Structure 1
Amino acid sequence: MEYETIHGEEIPKVGLGTWRMEGATCRDAVGTALDLGYRHIDTAQAYGNERQVGQAIEHSDVDRDDIFLTTKVWPMHRKRPDIVNSVHESLAQLGTEYVDLLLIHWPNPLASTGEVMRTLSDLQSDGVARHIGVSNFDTGQLETAREEATVDVFTDQVQFHPFNPQAELLDYCQRNDVLLTAYSPLAHGGAMHDHVLTELGTKYDKSPAQVALRWVTQQDGVVTIPKSTSEAHLKQNLEIFDFELTETEMALVARPSRLRTGMSMLRGRLGR
């Protein structure tokens, strides 16, 4: 495993995302991931699976303190009391006294960014969260969030893959010591049959998905949380650190495409 260091904290380059995992499927996937060596687990209030994630951690042989656990506040909780109450509900569901990272899930145009970020900051100061951050914020929104927070904004979790490389946001994060957490790094399956990723996979004896994940993790200041419930795929997602793409290959993989990004988002909404 490789790690990214932000504000003195080492974060595994590959974690497990749990979006659309439910019930025993979620619990089993998280448990299997921990057994395989994953130490970075991502969930959210909106996913409805915090209890199952917490159960998997509780029944694992891995100490809670060795797991970097993230959850996210549903953005409709936009007032301080609602945010605070919802976070304590999340902790109860997860069966933990703290989360390592607490994010606001989406920017809410009806919410006061200042109130939201100051509330998250106070929750960090109270020990409820070790770090705070945002998700799905563009560069301008992230800048505002950083201005309003009274502690460091640790990460911005966004969709990030070869067809949506987020160059402006990545540059901003790298310049300002903000971790970029990449979700949907395989473009909801769009990377699987891509000709460039396939050709590079042949060269390195890797799958197109593994090449895409290597492209993501080879970038400075970036970690990723691919979703998988298959033990085989969970293993493969970790087997990406024994090869390295050249600078030319990194440039070849990155092909911004609104069409392919849009198709990825559509597949995500359809659960494909």
Structure 2
Amino acid sequence: MTDLDLPDIGLGTSGNDDPEECAESVATALNLGYRHVDTAQMYDNEAAVGEGIRRSDVDRSEVVLATKVHPDNLAPDDVRRTARESLDRLGVDSVEMLYVHWPTGAYDAEETLPAFDELRDEGLVDHVCVSNFTPELLAEARGILDSPLAANQVECHPLLRQDELRADAREHGYSLVSYAPLGRGEFFDDPTLVDIAEKHDATPAQVSLAWAMAQESVVPIPKATGDHIEENLAARDVELDAEDLDRIADIDREKRIIDPDDAPWHR
């Protein structure tokens, strides 16, 4: 069980690799009311994310900041070294959340995870997190870590509802952080989502985010720039009723957007 208390929606930054646009998006999001910002070594934008936090009107202490260790950097010495390099790029003394980005590459549970415990013991990380873990890998991690597992970040949206992982998050008391919660726009023409959106005078994107926020333990982190930052935040005002949620649960097709060949669900 973790004491991490995440806001109901955060800002993702995957793919936002233009430094000025990224920094401005982060600053805008924080000024509008976001308080959770997610980045990664893999995104090559940690410096811009840090600049955006400093540029905003929000004090650093109010921001839940997350980054992730690249799969190639998951040997113990590399975890310790590159985590400090991430902090330097972000311009912070510590981060609230540090993730194993993918359990691939140099990942070895028995070797990698204790290095995350060490970083937490040293005060460089508040919460140890993982990403793209299956239920089996989560159980293995819990058996190795001294730290409570605070989050598992996975793709999760109305067409990839992750029932088993959501149940695991509820059972073990951690957050299921949802990346690609809008499916990169690839299912906005789904008739069920379109109909529910019309019912609530909302967009299919807002319905998708409202669905995530209606699920216990799920926290969406949509990537956005420009006007979409505020549009996504407004999804908090879309109140789906039981009929809406049942209709989404009955959607009978699945769409996974992020699906590399070495992903753990293919093993």
Alpha-carbon displacement from aligned partner over 1:78-101 (angstroms, at most 9, x marks no partner): 221111000000000000000000
Distance 1:256 1:65 in 2: 43
Distance 1:34 1:41 in 2: 9
1:28-107 equivalences in 2 (<5 Å): 28-107=24-103
| TM-align CA RMSD | 1.5
Distance 1:121 1:166 in 2: 27
Alpha-carbon displacement from aligned partner over 1:86-128 (angstroms, at most 9, x marks no partner): 0000000000000000001000265320221111011111100
Deviates more, 1:200-209 or 1:104-113: 104-113
- Measured after TM superposition, the shift of residue 204 of structure 1 is 0.9
Q: Equivalent of 2:220, from 214, 221, 224?
A: 224
Alpha-carbon displacement from aligned partner over 1:51-75 (angstroms, at most 9, x marks no partner): 0001111122211010000000001
Distance 2:194 2:11 in 1: 24
Secondary structure, in 3 states, of the residue corresponding to 1:220?
coil
Distance 1:172 1:256 in 2: 22
Secondary structure, in 3 states, of the residue corresponding to 1:130?
strand
Corresponding position of 2:264? none
Secondary structure, in 3 states, of the residue corresponding to 1:241?
helix
Q: Equivalent of 2:13, from 18, 33, 38?
A: 18
Poorly superposed stretches of 4+, deviation over 4 Å: none
Deviates more, 1:68-77 or 1:7-16: 7-16
Corresponding position of 2:189? 193
Secondary structure, in 3 states, of the residue corresponding to 1:239?
helix
Work out whether residues 105 and 134 of structure 1, in 8 Å CA contact, stay in contact via their aligned partners in 2: yes
Distance 2:248 2:85 in 1: 42
Secondary structure, in 3 states, of the residue corresponding to 1:119?
helix
Distance 1:136 1:176 in 2: 17
Deviates more, 1:175-184 or 1:103-112: 103-112
- Measured after TM superposition, the shift of residue 242 of structure 1 is 2.6
| Structure 1 pair 132–210 and aligned structure 2 pair: CA distance change class (3 A) | same
Q: Equivalent of 1:265, from 252, 258, 262?
A: 258
- Measured after TM superposition, the shift of residue 195 of structure 1 is 1.2
Distance 2:57 2:124 in 1: 23
Percent identity over the alignment is 36
Distance 1:109 1:141 in 2: 15
Distance 1:134 1:85 in 2: 18
The TM-score with structure 1 as length reference comes to: 0.90
Q: Equivalent of 2:248, from 245, 253, 257?
A: 253
- Measured after TM superposition, the shift of residue 241 of structure 1 is 2.6
Distance 1:243 1:188 in 2: 20
- Measured after TM superposition, the shift of residue 34 of structure 1 is 1.1
Corresponding position of 2:235? 240
1:177 and 2:162 are equivalent in the alignment: no
Corresponding position of 1:164? 160
Secondary structure, in 3 states, of the residue corresponding to 2:223?
coil
Distance 2:252 2:157 in 1: 9
- Measured after TM superposition, the shift of residue 144 of structure 1 is 0.7
Distance 2:110 2:122 in 1: 18
Distance 2:232 2:133 in 1: 26
Count residues in correspondence: 257
Distance 2:253 2:111 in 1: 35
Distance 1:243 1:50 in 2: 32
- Measured after TM superposition, the shift of residue 252 of structure 1 is 1.3
| Structure 1 pair 110–40 and aligned structure 2 pair: CA distance change class (3 A) | closer
Q: Equivalent of 2:208, from 205, 208, 212?
A: 212
Distance 1:137 1:265 in 2: 13
Work out whether residues 188 and 265 of structure 1, in 8 Å CA contact, stay in contact via their aligned partners in 2: no
- Measured after TM superposition, the shift of residue 213 of structure 1 is 0.5
Q: Which runs of 5+ in 1 are unaligned?
A: 1-5, 267-272
Secondary structure, in 3 states, of the residue corresponding to 1:54?
helix
**Equivalent position amino acid for 1:159 in 2:** E
